[in-house]
Structure 1
Amino acid sequence: MTQVALRAVIKGTGSALPRSRVSNAELANKVDTTDAWITERTGIKFRHIAEPDETTSSLAIEASRKALDAAGMAAGDIDLIILATATPDQTFPASATIVQHALGCNGGVAFDVAAVCSGFLYAFSVAESMIRAGSAHNALVIGAETFSRILDWEDRTTCVLFGDGAGAVVLSGEVGTRGALATKLHADGQHNELLYVDGGPSTTGTVGKLRMKGREVFRHAVTNLTSVLHEVLAATELTPADIDWVVPHQANARIIEATAKKLALDPSKVVLTVDQHANTSAASVPLALDVAVRDGRIKAGDIVVLEAMGGGFTWGASIIRM
């Protein structure tokens, strides 16, 4: 008997941002920088910074509730929660379990994934695999970060680049043409010193602060993202012309533009939110996806590419029919 293949279909999206919205001009009052300097090098104009009562899990919970509402599903329908984050509420337990309890869907599977800016794609791939294997039926995949907690606010080359936020999607197994078509993931640990946090439980016993060599990261990002996008296109036998929308990791407008140019992608098909949110790490892709779904750009049936690269280095891309 031929087994019918399941695909993981995005049924709903949601996002959340901290209350505090900080402009480049406001940041320049505290940091040795200017609006012109930040805008020219990154394309960033604003970022959201978490208040003391806002956490990675509280943002994830808000984004998840919105995604569930968009999917027309109840929390009790969810049997898998994967939260991608580099800034969990606690060293343990997983922040995914905090989200699970707050939503009221205890008893299923819940865990965190740490792959920094590529975290959402890693989490998405795991959830997709579990759905196809029959280990889960309905999943919440979340990217959530409070990166402001690990920034060195005296380092103007890094603190201006990041913001806080969360994005979530509800995935369900369905038979048909919709859903994830192909995903490719990679990691290369030799570049640790180019983008890392200088602390951790087993080394310093402290959280640490983010450190980055921006020029080298930029070069690797353009090369790696171009390569992995070629991989997923080849896996699906699609061409750039077949793509309706690209939702890239929102790290730097120049990286996004350079990658699109190398692939001959139409810039009008690229979702750009980095100007409003800055780099929200693992939250970046699902947050941008939710924006484009809710404003009507991304519609059911569209072919959408998600891509990201982060510390590790980790990187990946996925092609989805919405």
Structure 2
Amino acid sequence: MFINSTGYYIPEKRIDNQYLAQINDSTEDWYVKRTGIITRARANEGETVNYMCIEAVKSAIKNLPYDIHEVDLIIFGSYTPSDTISTTAHVIQKEFNIDKAKAFYISSACSSAVNGMEIIKSFFETNISKRALLVCADQNSQYSNDHDRESGHLWGDAAVALFFSNEEISSNDSKVIDVITRGLGNIGKGPDGITLNPKVGIQMLYGKDVFTNACIYMSEFTKYIIKKNNYTIDDLSYFIGHQANKRIISFVCNELGICESKSLTNIETLGNTGCASAPLVLAQNYDNFKSNDLICLSVFGGGYSSGTCLIRKG
């Protein structure tokens, strides 16, 4: 399958370390050393998940090589949806009047985007769909607590949109070579590692377990997909890891032997944007990729779950 166009929406507001240091009796440097985060993107009251997703789709439409009404599959990935009944997939279908499209919502925490890609790939291979739209977003600030010293400083808000086709449409399309995912609910603390109860908010009660398993499985999945498709780590042009913690990304790159110049990140300025995370980095850098660049996305989500995909730029 092929990526035809990408787009995104990032709120302008930023929450800096100075603010968090003041309310938590800590230091700005403590946050940088612990996570690599300097500022976090923060949505305002009107920048709901629905709003951010619609704006991300508008951004992607600008370079779409076909009419959006050709889309026959809309998948929305999130763990902080604006509504769990009237899903953002259906809101987008209405906003852009995309008739005759299947539309639904998925969630496997921060692995949702790669899971969405795998679903799209399956729909294409079975001729159920030919054009697909994947939109991922999280408004973590709805549920995060700035006073939570364990994880309140991690979260950011953003949305990303990617259009896919079952065949190459233009020379600018990028080929998705392979996608693999796996549920890891039986590993470590599993479902207890990271939780979001609407009445309590986002909690990471076992941060060390999350950190350890993210490092293990992002590395393992990347090695596997590279070998499976007859490449080597040296063949990679860029690596995009889940933007959860800069130290996790650094550990994975060191484990894989990927030089820092090949690792693309946005966590320093945006924080952990959840489901949008890795594909958001892809979208932000998409126009800078050169023909035949080989890009690997590797993600890890609460639950736990993990996934990796290989992309060749057109």
TM-score (normalised: structure 1) = 0.90
Partner of 1:106: 99
How many residue pairs align between the two structures? 306
What's the offset of the Cα at 1:207?
Answer: 4.7
Counterpart residue identity of residue 181, structure 1: I
Separation in structure 2 between the aligned mates of residue 66 and residue 97 of structure 1, nearest angstrom: 18
The 8 Å contact of residues 15 and 286 in structure 1, kept in 2 or not, is answered as no
Partner of 1:42: 35
Poorly superposed stretches of 4+, deviation over 6 Å = none
Separation in structure 2 between the aligned mates of residue 79 and residue 171 of structure 1, nearest angstrom: 11
- Flag structure 2 segments of 5+ consecutive residues without an equivalent: none
Separation in structure 1 between the aligned mates of residue 58 and residue 229 of structure 2, nearest angstrom: 32
Question: Any residues of structure 2 matched to 1:171-250 within 5 Å, and which?
Answer: 171-174=164-167, 179-190=175-186, 191-197=190-196, 199=197, 206-212=198-204, 213-250=206-243
Taking a change above 3 Å as real, the CA distance of residues 23 and 152 of structure 1, as seen in their structure-2 partners, is closer
Is structure 2 residue 280 aligned with structure 1 residue 281?
A: no
Partner of 2:311: 320
Separation in structure 2 between the aligned mates of residue 159 and residue 223 of structure 1, nearest angstrom: 24
CA distances 1:31-75 after superposition (whole Å, capped 9, x unpaired): 444321111111111111111111111111111111121223332
What's the offset of the Cα at 1:305?
Answer: 0.5
Question: Any residues of structure 2 matched to 1:45-56 within 5 Å, and which?
Answer: 45-56=38-49
Taking a change above 3 Å as real, the CA distance of residues 101 and 241 of structure 1, as seen in their structure-2 partners, is same
Counterpart residue identity of residue 238, structure 1: Y
Question: Which region of structure 1 is more displaced relative to structure 2, 306-315 or 169-178?
Answer: 169-178
Separation in structure 2 between the aligned mates of residue 284 and residue 41 of structure 1, nearest angstrom: 19
The 8 Å contact of residues 166 and 286 in structure 1, kept in 2 or not, is answered as no
Taking a change above 3 Å as real, the CA distance of residues 252 and 137 of structure 1, as seen in their structure-2 partners, is same
The 8 Å contact of residues 75 and 104 in structure 1, kept in 2 or not, is answered as no
Give the SS at the match of 1:14. strand
The 8 Å contact of residues 20 and 146 in structure 2, kept in 1 or not, is answered as no
CA distances 1:160-211 after superposition (whole Å, capped 9, x unpaired): 00100011111111169951211111112131111112x2xxxxxx453111
Partner of 1:144: 137
Is structure 2 residue 310 aligned with structure 1 residue 307?
A: no
Question: Any residues of structure 2 matched to 1:51-70 within 5 Å, and which?
Answer: 51-70=44-63
Q: CA RMSD in A?
A: 1.7
Taking a change above 3 Å as real, the CA distance of residues 72 and 27 of structure 1, as seen in their structure-2 partners, is farther
CA distances 1:225-251 after superposition (whole Å, capped 9, x unpaired): 111111111220111011111111111
The 8 Å contact of residues 117 and 179 in structure 2, kept in 1 or not, is answered as no
Counterpart residue identity of residue 192, structure 1: P
- Flag structure 1 segments of 5+ consecutive residues without an equivalent: 1-7, 200-205
Separation in structure 1 between the aligned mates of residue 195 and residue 224 of structure 2, nearest angstrom: 27
Separation in structure 2 between the aligned mates of residue 101 and residue 19 of structure 1, nearest angstrom: 26
Partner of 1:202: none
The 8 Å contact of residues 78 and 107 in structure 2, kept in 1 or not, is answered as yes
TM-score (normalised: structure 2) = 0.93
Partner of 1:119: 112
Separation in structure 2 between the aligned mates of residue 293 and residue 281 of structure 1, nearest angstrom: 19
